[in-house]
Each structure stands twice: as structure tokens, then as C-alpha cells.
Amino acid sequence: LFTTTVRFATTNEVATYSNGSIAPMRIINANRSPKAIIHILMKFWLETPFQRIKVFRTALENFVNARPREWVALVGFRATRVEADFGYVEYRIICQHREAWQNIGPILQSKADLSSFSLEVSKKLDLRYVSPPMPVKLTAPGFNHSGLISNYSSENETKEPRSAENTLTADDLQDVAALFVIRE
């Protein structure tokens, strides 16, 4: 046996490779990789009260648990990166799907639904991170190259900090959950 035949899952194309060319590569049989693990990254505003983060997590757990034919469980929800200089905390949402990686279509659809749901809940809870404006460096012949001109406006300085008074619970987010129909 000197060759290996492979099939590209999305287009069903067939190709043959020599074993020597694929020997140093990582080879995966998607059918033998049961229950795909999905990762979604979210950035939240640094000053977000932890209570809102807990409500967000509860809403995610409810979303996943309401779809037992799609999801096994919410495997993890953790802060993976804190960028105090940029004003955000990055969270990783990790869920386990019922399908094997070989059945990529339903997995990608479920991931899209979970991502959309996460975005809508983050908007509702006012968790979304909005990046600060980036400086613009303009140079022209005859000018020195050390000057930065920023597009940072004074309206950003007078902006009120986000309020932590609007306390929502996971039950208050049912209207967002209703947007995402459970598939039979």
C-alpha cells in the first residue's frame, strides 16, 4: 500500500496522496471524532459587573439545555484573556455537540445559532465591548514622522460610564431565546 485515498467532506471530491507525502501530517478520521467540541470567543467590557456575566452564563446554559438533540452540555465558560489597556475581557464558550465532526453541516448551523444567541444576549445585557478608536498616522513629504493625529473625539471623554443598575436575570432574556427556534 503506497497511496491513501481521501474524500473532502464538503464537496465530496476524491484525491489520492502518496503515503510519504502525508507521513509528517496529522491525520484525522472525522467519523471517529465523536461529539464535536465548539469554541466561541466573546469580548466583554472590562467594567462589566460579575453579576451580569453570571446571568449571561445562565442564559447560555438554558439555551444549550433546551436543545438536547443538538448539544450535550456547556463544557466551559471561562475568562481566557484580560486586556486592561484595551478595556476588555475575553471569554471562551465551550460546548459539546451531539454529532461527530464528519457531520459538519449541523455542527456549523448549531455553532451559528449559539453565536447569534450569545451576541443578542450580550447586547441585551450591555456586555458588548466597543474598541477604542485607533490613532491615525498621517505623514507627508516635509513633515517629521513622529506625529500622530488621533480620530479620538471629545465626545468620548464626556460619555457616561455604563450603569450597573439595570439588573436582568436569565428569565428576563426569554424574548431573546424565543428568537431561536428549537429544531426537531
pLDDT over 90 (residue 141): no
- Output the pTM of the full model: 0.66
Q: What is the pLDDT of residues 86-131, one digit of tens each?
A: 889 999 999 999 998 888 889 999 999 999 999 999 999 989 888 8
pLDDT over 70 (residue 39): yes
Q: What is the pLDDT of residues 51-82, one digit of tens each?
A: 999 999 999 999 999 999 999 999 999 999 99
Contact yes or no for 33/103 (Cβ under 8 A): no
What proportions of the chain, in percent to the nearest 5, are helix, strand and coil? 30, 25, 45
Q: Give me the pLDDT at residue 12, please.
A: 84
Contact yes or no for 100/30 (Cβ under 8 A): yes
pLDDT over 90 (residue 137): no
Enter the C-alpha cell of residue 53.
456575566
Q: Give me the pLDDT at residue 66, please.
A: 95
DSSP state of 98: S
